[in-house]
Amino acid sequence: MKTIMLVCAAGMSTSLLVTKMKKAAESKGVNADIFAIPASEMSSVLEHKNVDAVLLGPQVMYMKKQLEAELSIKNIPIEAINVQDYGMMNGEKVLDQAFALIK
């Protein structure tokens, strides 16, 4: 099972995208734990949960450099979600983006 963490400003705007990503994973037969959290909770979640990839929502992509330093220690890749895919809530494309980071 792969674990994908989506990070956004409040953890709420990304919940629809998480749902669509889960449906895409299910249709592809992929076992994935996909969840969204606010940026303020990322460090505490990483203390007790193994994560394979982190995707940033457009509203927090400015934090990428800062978060890369923290995540590089744990060898966790991080990438900003494609803005167009986020806006269209394209769960399949965002799921593919996450798996491209993990491989």
- State the pLDDT at residue 103: 75
How many CB atoms sit inside 10 A of residue 62's CB? 10
- Active-site annotation holds for 8: yes
- State the pLDDT at residue 64: 95
The parent domain of residue 14 ranges over: 2-102
Looking at the 3D structure of the chain, how many domains does it have?
A: 1
pLDDT tens track for 21-65: 999 999 999 999 999 999 999 999 999 999 999 999 999 999 999
**Average pLDDT of the residues of the chain:** 94
Q: Which of 8, 78, 81, 95 is catalytic?
A: 8
10 pLDDT band, cuts 50/70/90, is confident
- State the pLDDT at residue 13: 72
pTM of the model: 0.93
Residues ≥6 apart with Cβ < 8 Å to 3: 32, 33, 34, 49, 50, 51, 52, 53
CATH at 62: 3.40.50.2300
82 pLDDT band, cuts 50/70/90, is very high
